[in-house]
A = this chain, B = another copy of it.
């Protein structure tokens, strides 16, 4: 059974609208190696778990629960990056400066810029919001979920999955300097590092020695300032269990990290504080939420109820 607190797992730093960065971040949400996939993969592996290795079940499922909050975080981040983009004016001029000479596209219509973005669906279908698709527009697919039932193999796959997620997020970091985007990208780089530690440690307990190859990609991630700040807090070596009824994951996730970054692994006692979530404003050009004044009044009556 699942529960919710209407808060985000990490803070999203405000910055200018940036639909191109939003589109890139879709890979981290609905891509083959994005958060929807890790979430679904670990949950299915938990529901189908076999045998007595309870701490391993708790470990996989614990990461899986966290991933739902990552889906929430990255979806909200994408939302923040597209929201308001059509009406946005840059410091240097109109948003669609690059395209203003195109015939019929002089920016005179409210959603004109949508024609020249990475995925027009963000404006035409999703009302300036996030979608369950990747950065090239492919919808998320159930065929991504890997669950062989062989524990060693599932753990190796999960390690590879987290490493690929971290690799792609490092590339995303190199693609944009928008602060909204980078605040979430950096957080996920560090959490993917933690999850590499999770699966590598579990495999270490089965007898594998990782030498010096982890984490992947293997570079000094503290050269990304936002990442450094989070690593200095030890976030790459912690894994909260997200369980209201306790967890045995700490039986596996303990001792020294199996990464060259080293340090002791830790299952914190408390979940993060969380950051308040606020719904976006109305977007009349999207007819969203699109209530008439008359119906809006009905809604407000409901809202004022004790």
Q: Quick one: closest B residue to A210, CB to CB?
A: B208
The answer to whether A164 and B171 touch (CB under 8 A), given A3-B243, A147-B126, A205-B299, is no
Contact between chains at A135 and B156 (CB < 8 Å):
no
- Whether the pair B115, A176 counts as a contact (CB closer than 8 A) is yes
A226 CB to closest chain B CB, in angstroms? 13
Interface residues contributed by chain A, number (CB under 8 Å) = 164
Asked if A285 and B174 sit within 8 Å, CB to CB, the answer is: yes
In the complex, which residues of chain B have a beta carbon less than 8 angstroms from the beta carbon of A71? 43
Q: Which residues of B contact A76 (CB under 8 A)?
A: 47
A151 touches B75 (CB 8 A): no
Q: Are B175 and A114 in touch, CB under 8 angstroms?
A: yes
Say whether A234 faces chain B, with CB atoms less than 8 Å apart: no
Kindly state whether residue A119 has any CB partner on chain B within 8 Å: yes
Q: Give 20 pairs: A residue, B residue, CB < 8 Å, sorted on A.
A: A1-B7, A3-B4, A3-B244, A15-B104, A16-B104, A18-B104, A20-B116, A23-B120, A50-B283, A51-B291, A54-B303, A97-B101, A98-B99, A127-B149, A129-B149, A151-B289, A151-B291, A167-B290, A171-B286, A208-B213
Q: Judge whether B303 and A175 touch: CB under 8 Å.
A: no
> CA of A24 to CA of B130 in the docked complex: distance in angstroms?
19
**List of B residues within 8 angstroms of A90 by Cβ:** 101-103
Cβ contact within 8 Å between A109 and B176: yes
Q: Contacts of A127 on B, CB cut-off 8 Å?
A: 48, 50, 147-150
Bound Cα distance from A31 to B124, whole angstroms: 11
Q: Which of A1, A58, A203, A281 has the most CB of B within 10 A?
A: A1
Residue among A17, A72, A105 with the most chain B CB within 10 A? A105
Question: Known: A23-B120, A50-B282, A175-B115. Contact between A287 and B101, CB under 8 A?
Answer: no
Determine the distance from Cα of A284 to Cα of B244 in the docked complex, in whole angstroms: 33
| CB proximity to B under 8 Å, residues A169-226 | 170-178, 203, 205-213, 216-219
- Once A129-B147, A303-B55 are accepted as A-B contacts, the answer to whether A152 and B291 lie under 8 Å apart by CB is yes
Collect the chain B residues with CB atoms within 8 Å of residue A175's CB.
109, 111-112, 114-115, 123-124
Closest-by-CB residue of B relative to A301 is B205
Asked if A121 meets B135 with Cβ closer than 8 Å, knowing A79-B48, A101-B98, A115-B176, the reply is yes
Q: Which residue of B lies closest to A243 (CB)?
A: B4
The 4 closest A-B pairs by CB, nearest first: A127-B149, A207-B211, A48-B129, A132-B142
Given contacts A4-B243, A44-B132, 20 further A-B contacts (CB under 8 A): A5-B243, A27-B124, A30-B142, A52-B299, A52-B303, A53-B291, A55-B302, A57-B279, A97-B102, A109-B173, A111-B174, A120-B136, A126-B149, A140-B140, A140-B141, A153-B216, A156-B216, A206-B298, A218-B295, A260-B292
Contact A124–B21 (Cβ < 8 Å): no
